[in-house]
Amino acid sequence: MSFLPSHLRATIVRFPTRLQMRTKFTLPQAGNANTPTTAAPPPPKFNSMRNNMVLYENGDQQFFRVAYFCAGGQLLMWLTFADWAYRDLQTATGNVDENGRSVRIKMAIMKDQESSPAREYVLAPLNERRLWGSFCLGIGGLLAAAVHLYTSSRIRAVTLLRGGQYVGIDTANLLGRNQIVLPTQSIRTFHPVVQSSASTARPGATSGYLVVKSTSRNTAYMLDRSGEFTDPKLFDRLFYKPK
């Protein structure tokens, strides 16, 4: 630039080049105007965890013990009915033909009670006794199974296992398997533990239970809000994934 006059050379030196402007200023990237500029907090990392962390615990299990006691009592009652029906179920002699099969007959109503013949009872046919015994067993078994399924879907404790990759869920059932290990990323809840003014306006957001679902299982678990959360915000960061 020696061929230029001295006053033009001074002006060009003072003006910054395009490369200098690019290194000094950074233009914002194009995006939605409604998107907030604050970045979302990164998911928590627990790779350095050496011990398990209890996230939730509900020590009030008295209701489920009483439910199991009632289920066992009614099951014993229906077993007694089934045993009685199979062994001692009787029917009137007029309701059984000579082959031992049940039949229905029409009996005349006697005006004089003293002249009415006395009805004799004999042991019911085997098929009829088996039918009523199976019916009693089915009623007792269904009621006991309903109590067991109800307690199996109630969460007693949630523990973040060492390393943070898996979560242990303890259910309230007293019989059978009550400890389940699931991947942390597969668990989700539809409502947060920490309620805000916006979330409390939605119907169902302040219900007494939280629905906990996993992509690896079809069963949904219920978590009682009255239990103790050691860190509610951490619980929401791990599992709260709205629809």
pLDDT in tens, the chain (243 residues): 555 555 555 544 454 444 344 333 333 444 454 544 444 455 555 555 668 889 999 988 889 999 999 999 999 999 999 999 999 888 876 555 555 555 544 343 444 444 445 567 788 888 999 999 999 999 999 999 999 999 999 999 999 998 888 999 999 998 888 899 999 889 999 888 887 545 444 544 445 888 999 888 888 899 998 889 998 999 998 898 887
Contact 90, 132 (CB under 8 A): no
Q: What is the pLDDT of residue 91?
A: 82
- Predicted TM-score (pTM) of the model is 0.62
* CB proximity list for 2: less than 8 A, separation 6 or greater: none
**Residue ranges of domains in the chain:** 53-60+155-239, 64-100+120-152
**Strand blocks (E) in 132-238:** 155-160, 166-171, 179-183, 187-189, 209-214, 217-224, 228-229
